[in-house]
Amino acid sequence: MIIKASLFKDAFYFKKGFIMAEIKYQLPRGTQDIYGDDMSLWQQAEQIIRDQCRLYGYSEIRTPVFEHTEVFKAENDSSDMVNKEMYSFKDNGQRDLTLRPEGTKGIIRSFVEHKMYGNTDLPVKLFYIEPMFRYDRPQKGRYRQFHQFGIEAIGLRNAMLDVECIALGYRITKLMGINNVVVLVNSLGDKQSRDNYRKALKDYFNPYLQCLCDDCKRRYQQNPLRILDCKVDKDKDFFINAPKCKDYLTDTSKKYFQDVLNGLEQLNIPFKVEDNLVRGLDYYTNTVFEAVPVDDEGQQATLFGGGQYDGLVNSFNGPDYAGVGFGMGIERLINLSVEQNGICPVKRTSDVYIISLGDVNDYSLKIAERLRDNKIVTALDLSARSLKAQFKSSDRLQSRVIVIVGEDEKTNKTAVIKDTENKEQFNVNFDEVVNKVKEILGE
């Protein structure tokens, strides 16, 4: 008998004098298993992404799931992602490592480490589809392990590259059947613009310092721009009159931003200038953007977000290159596509079903492998069930051809082949099985 001992926080069981901890064989919070119809949606989405990246000249890159913590954690970094959400740990060699919370910094580390800029035309265009890890409060569209498709175009500072990058993201949402996306855009300007704006924000928020949340008090010191991204303080009265970045842009930055807006207009990409858009990460300069569903009221619906990062490559001891890119949450992309288009269940089918009767599984397997050598989808029944039960299973897979193998067939090196459509049956030698099946399938 098992007695549950509720005295313990995590339930324990006493069994025959032993104490056994209850093992939780469950998903960790904020993670998901992906399988069945969902998996085929993922495969479709990834196929669309890969095809489009090829059209735009992006090649795939894979970086490690974990990096040295310094790769993600810049000195005095003000972002929530770095300060609160990283899965950091020490390995057995006492190294400080972190599970990748985002793609960009690992890519820049790799770009500089392998000197990808030598001997090639710029920009270097890279894309990735990889899991990311953030310790955040899970809710709809927000997970602790999620997957990002992202692109980075490194080595060219050009407004049309920013536009092309947004165009690729937008095109993918369209191809996924999502019809109501608008791209929110803003400019944070060049270094001088941001320095001026930071000073203006500090002056403005100084009298309200005591009214700000604890995080914003930290942001005030580290990077006052990030106060504008605060979900806690954003509805407070004094926020409405906070200085706008657009009023502090240098002429060069103004022109750059105007070029981006013109480019978006020419490509008919729906956009809206959002004065307070600053993005949650510290490295952005000039253009920043987030693509959201038009009628979205929720907080977690940004499909893809990104921007330009002038200075990031340099901070990794690389050349003075700008880059631009975005990250797109694949879970969000798929969820929204399913919300708008429904899900079309994928039926598993097979061209050939091999029924085995008696101790003949080794012979049936040989036939199955021959068929698969010839790219014929083959289901092999090794269950030793009755003929009727195996026929039922072949029906479920809508198999056009059934191959029946029993003791006699194994001894004589033959097989019985049934054409389920024309209701014909053939007795053929082992070497003729493939040709007969192909003939029935019309290949």
- Interaction mask 262-301, ligand HAM, x per CB under 6 A: ------------------xx--------------------
Spatial contact of 81 and 73, defined as CB atoms under 8 Å apart: no
Burial class (CB in 10 A: 0-12, 13-18, 19+), 280: middle
Give the residue, chosen from 155, 306, 318, 406, that forms a contact with ligand HAM under the rule CB under 6 A.
Answer: 306
Q: What is the 3-state secondary structure (H, E, C) of 324-362?
A: EEEEEEHHHHHHHHHHHHCCCCCCCCCCEEEEECCCCHH
Residue whose pair of structure tokens reads 């270094």 in the numeric block? 191
Asked whether the bond before 123 is cis by omega within 30 degrees of 0, the reply is yes
Q: What are phi and psi of 129, to 5 degrees?
A: -130, 105
**How many of the chain's residues bind ligand HAM (CB under 6 A)?**
27
Helix (H) / strand (E) element for 209: namely none
Spatial distance between the Cα atoms of 302 and 306, rounded to a whole number of angstroms? 11
DSSP lists the bridge partners of residue 131 as 147
- The distance of closest approach from Cβ of residue 366 to ligand HAM in the complex, given in angstroms and rounded to an integer, is 47
If the CB atoms of residues 303 and 401 are measured against ligand HAM, the closer one turns out to be: 303
- The distance of closest approach from Cβ of residue 333 to ligand HAM in the complex, given in angstroms and rounded to an integer, is 8
- The distance of closest approach from Cβ of residue 154 to ligand HAM in the complex, given in angstroms and rounded to an integer, is 10
Spatial contact of 178 and 336, defined as CB atoms under 8 Å apart: yes
If the CB atoms of residues 142 and 438 are measured against ligand HAM, the closer one turns out to be: 142
Give the residue, chosen from 124, 242, 269, 303, that forms a contact with ligand HAM under the rule CB under 6 A.
Answer: 303
| Span 70-129, contacts to ligand HAM by CB under 6 A | 102-104
Give the residue, chosen from 46, 136, 296, 432, that forms a contact with ligand HAM under the rule CB under 6 A.
Answer: 136
Give the residue, chosen from 58, 143, 205, 248, that forms a contact with ligand HAM under the rule CB under 6 A.
Answer: 143
Nearest residue (beta carbon) to ligand HAM: 329
If the CB atoms of residues 205 and 304 are measured against ligand HAM, the closer one turns out to be: 304
- The distance of closest approach from Cβ of residue 134 to ligand HAM in the complex, given in angstroms and rounded to an integer, is 5
Confirm or reject binding of residue 215 to ligand HAM (CB under 6 A).
no
- The distance of closest approach from Cβ of residue 253 to ligand HAM in the complex, given in angstroms and rounded to an integer, is 18
Give the residue, chosen from 72, 111, 146, 256, that forms a contact with ligand HAM under the rule CB under 6 A.
Answer: 146
Q: For the sheet containing 88-90, what is the strand order?
A: 66-68, 96-99, 88-90
If the CB atoms of residues 181 and 402 are measured against ligand HAM, the closer one turns out to be: 181
- The distance of closest approach from Cβ of residue 20 to ligand HAM in the complex, given in angstroms and rounded to an integer, is 35
Spatial distance between the Cα atoms of 380 and 394, rounded to a whole number of angstroms? 10
- The distance of closest approach from Cβ of residue 142 to ligand HAM in the complex, given in angstroms and rounded to an integer, is 4
Spatial distance between the Cα atoms of 204 and 197, rounded to a whole number of angstroms? 10
Confirm or reject binding of residue 329 to ligand HAM (CB under 6 A).
yes
Give the residue, chosen from 134, 410, 418, 436, that forms a contact with ligand HAM under the rule CB under 6 A.
Answer: 134
Spatial distance between the Cα atoms of 373 and 403, rounded to a whole number of angstroms? 16
Q: Which two tokens stand for residue 119?
A: 């001997």
Confirm or reject binding of residue 157 to ligand HAM (CB under 6 A).
no
Give the residue, chosen from 142, 171, 236, 244, that forms a contact with ligand HAM under the rule CB under 6 A.
Answer: 142
Collapsed DSSP state (helix, strand, coil) of residue 5 = strand
Spatial distance between the Cα atoms of 410 and 423, rounded to a whole number of angstroms? 24
Show Cβ contacts of residue 43 under 8 Å, excluding neighbours closer than 6 positions: none
- The binding site for ligand HAM (CB under 6 A) comprises 102-104, 134, 136, 141-143, 146, 148, 150, 152, 280-281, 302-307, 325-329, 331-332
